[in-house]
Amino acid sequence: MSSKINKLPGIKLKEKEMYSLIGLVEDMPQAKYDFAAGTTISKFLEGLKEGKILGRKCPKCGRIFVPPRSYCEWCHVATNEWIEVPQTGEIHTAVITYISTKREKIERPEVVGTIKLDVPGYRDGEYEFAGLFHKICVDPQDVISGKAIGMKVKVRWKPKEERKGNILDIECFEPL
């Protein structure tokens, strides 16, 4: 390509230049939704409100899924049983965030990660496991040193009266 073509198409703009363009249109049509959670997630959220983590079992392969699914993604059959699972587990991975969703700097960095819950039926080191993605209340230094990976943790619930049937009813996972 470069042997034949010297200049590629494309007209670059600086931020200021862009904003001063004649005919620039600014717009944001509303995009709002009401998602039906369906039976399974509705019941899972209800469980959170009661301080329980509910899983759902596949009748074919026996896997217990957390978060629960209506169907087993590996067998493609409807799951058939509710199982309350332990609220303990270990940190699979954890990171320290210094930015918000909008990519603004946040004042107090937070630790977030994925938690492998102590749900029966999964072998140690298995590629798949049951667990959640959430905030983790550990010292950021432990994330950097690597101490956090594999650390045993448990759920820290919000006070009962503040729970709304929402994933944020779990405040975070904290060291056991």
Partner 1 sequence: MRSNIFMKDRVAIVGAGITTFMRRALETPRELAWEAAKMALDSAGLTLSDIDCVVIGSAPDTFDGMHLKGEYLGDGSGAINKPMTRVYVGGGTGVFVPESAYWHVASGVCKKVLVVAEEKMSPAHPHPQYVFKYIWDPIIERPLGPNLLWIFAMEMRRYMAKCGAKKEDIALVSVKNKRNALDHPAALTAANITVDDVLKSETLVWPVNLLDVSPVTDGAAALIMTSENVAREITDSPVWVDGIGFTLENQHWYNRELAFPRYLNYAARMAYKMAGIERPWKEIDVAEPYDPFDYKELHHIEGLMLARPCEAWKLVREGYFDRNGELPTSPSGGLLGVGNPIAAAGLMKVAELFWQLRYEAGKRQVKKPVHKAVANAWGDLMQAGTVIVLSN
Partner 2 sequence: MGVLMSRVAIVGVGWYGFKPTTIDVSFQDMMFESSARAYANAKIDPRYDVDAFVDCQEDMWEGIAISDEFAPEPIGGALRPTFTVAGDGLEGIAHAYMLIKTGHFNVVSVESHGKPSEIKTLQDIYRFALDPLHVRPLDYVNPLFYAGLDAVAYMKRTGAKREHLAMVAVKNKNNGLSNERASFSTRIDLDYVLSSSYSIYPMTNYEIAPFSDASITFVLANEDYAKKLTENPVWIEGIGYSTETGTGATEWHEWGKMKSFRSAALMAYKMANLNGNPQVDFAEIEDRFSFMELLALEETMLVKEGEAHKMLEKGDLNRDGFLPVNPSGGSLSMGVQLEATGLSRLLEAYLQLTGKAGNHQLKNVRRGLVASWRGVPTYTSMVALLSV
Partner 3 sequence: MSYDKRNRMEDLVIFPGEQEVEKYVYTPGIHGLEFAKGLKEGKILGMKCKDKIYVPPKTFCPDFTQGELIEINDEWILVSYTIVYQDMYKNNLPNPKIIGVIKPKNAETGLIHLLNVPLDKLEIGIKLKPVFKPENERNGTINDIKYFELS
Which residues of this chain interact with partner 3, rule CB under 8 A? 11, 13, 18-19, 21-28, 30-43, 45-46, 70-71, 78-80, 165
Strand 64-65 versus strand 88-99 pairing type: unpaired
CA distance readout (Å), 95 to 38, 113, 163 = 32, 6, 26
Q: What residues contact 83, with CB distance under 8 A and at least 6 apart?
A: 54, 55, 56, 57, 64
CA–CA gap between residue 55 and residue 40 (Å, rounded): 10
Q: Which of 22, 30, 32, 35 binds partner 1 (CB under 8 A)?
A: 35
CA–CA gap between residue 23 and residue 8 (Å, rounded): 25
Q: Which of 43, 118, 149, 156 binds partner 1 (CB under 8 A)?
A: 149
What b/e string do you get for 78-89 counting C-beta neighbours within 10 Å, with b at 16 or more? ebeebbebebeb
Q: Does 11 bind partner 2 (CB under 8 A)?
A: no
Q: Does 126 bind partner 2 (CB under 8 A)?
A: no
Of these partners, partner 2, partner 1, partner 3, none, which one is at the site of residue 165 (CB under 5 to 8 Å by kind)?
partner 3
Is the Cα torsion angle 142, 146, 151, 155 positive or negative in sign?
A: positive
Q: Which of 39, 70, 80, 100 binds partner 1 (CB under 8 A)?
A: 100
Footprint of partner 1 (CB under 8 A): 1-15, 18, 21, 27-28, 33, 35, 37, 41, 45, 65-67, 73, 92-103, 109, 112-115, 126-135, 140, 143-144, 146, 149, 166-168
Footprint of partner 2 (CB under 8 A): 23, 25, 27, 29-41, 69-71, 73-78
